Amino acid sequence: MLRPSIIQALVTRQVLLFTRNPVRAFELFFWPIVQLLVWGFVTVFLQQQVGGEGFPQFITFLIGAIILWDALFRSQQGVAISFLEDVWTRNLLNIFAAPIRMTEYLAATFTVGLLRVAITAIVLAVIALLAYSFNLFQFEWTLIAFYGNLMMFGWALGIISISMILRYGHAAESLAWAVPFMIQPFACVFYGVEVLPVWMQWVSLSMPPAHVFEGMRGILAGEGLQPSRLLLATGLNVLYLGAAGILFNYTLGLARKRGLLVKAATS
């Protein structure tokens, strides 16, 4: 059984890193805001040059995609970067030596990811409303389902990232940032699944984000949401989280057996 006090202590430690270091807080907001502003105004510029009645719809597709993609990315970062913080500060051995279960450690990183997503989502929603008249809450109850599925997949990617870091050491640290962008072409964030080659469509449909972003575009286009998309995305997320957990458990055991844990924590 998870112990809330342990999870709270681990989360508090991560939160203090941001509240007591303005640079970290700046980084949390800087990239999503810049991305939203740049791509949003690029689309507005293209609308002014090309015109057309249907073009404003593409603006909403892009703005919605950027905001929702940030949920996946931030939740993955919450897991991966929280782990790397312990590696960089050489605190990893203390974590594993303390009476902390790995499920509690992962639960704390999930919570950190949730906090990161919530903060940036509020900021991006306000900017999108003021700059582009885009109301994120037009999705109503489906917004919760969209965010939930994207965060679950982000957590799975985060677990995979730290598993690779445990296995391959510092050489794999770049995966903490690279993994989300490796799957982005298949996630169909900014375009529909139908534009992909057939073999890529099969890969895309096996990933939860593709169903979420297709559902988002369907709502914005006035076609409504197919409930089967959310059910399929949720089912796939359960499989991905389960597989990621198995991989992490195996990699952790291997790291302990071969002494990789000590190497990663002290080198």
pLDDT, tens only, 184-219: 999 999 888 999 999 999 999 999 999 999 999 999
Would you place residue 245 in the very low, low, confident or very high pLDDT band (cuts 50, 70, 90)?
A: very high
Alpha helices in 89-207 (DSSP H): 92-97, 102-132, 141-168, 175-187, 198-205
User: What is the separation of C-alpha 98 from the centre of its chain, rounded to a whole number of angstroms?
Assistant: 28
pLDDT > 90 fraction of the chain, expressed in percent and rounded: 35
Number of H helices, E strands in the chain: 11, 0
User: What is the separation of C-alpha 6 from the centre of its chain, rounded to a whole number of angstroms?
Assistant: 24
The number of distinct structural domains making up the chain is 1
State the chain's mean pLDDT as an integer.
85
pLDDT recorded at residue 188: 92
Q: Give the domain range for residue 197.
A: 4-266
Task: Give residue 41's identity as a one-letter amino acid code.
Answer: F
Would you place residue 51 in the very low, low, confident or very high pLDDT band (cuts 50, 70, 90)?
A: low
In this structure, are residues 181 and 265 in contact, taking their beta carbons and an 8 Å threshold?
no
pLDDT recorded at residue 13: 83
pLDDT recorded at residue 53: 57
pLDDT > 70 fraction of the chain, expressed in percent and rounded: 93
Nearest to 109 by CA among 15, 207, 5: 15
Nearest to 84 by CA among 92, 76, 95: 92
pLDDT recorded at residue 60: 81
pLDDT recorded at residue 252: 85
Residue 81 in this model has a pLDDT that exceeds 90: no
pLDDT recorded at residue 262: 61
Residue 102 in this model has a pLDDT that exceeds 60: yes
What span, in angstroms and rounded, lies between the C-alpha atoms of 159 and 246? 10
Tell me how long the chain is: 267
Which helix (H) or strand (E) segment holds residue 126: the answer is: helix 102-132
The three-class DSSP label of residue 114 is: helix
What's the pTM? 0.90
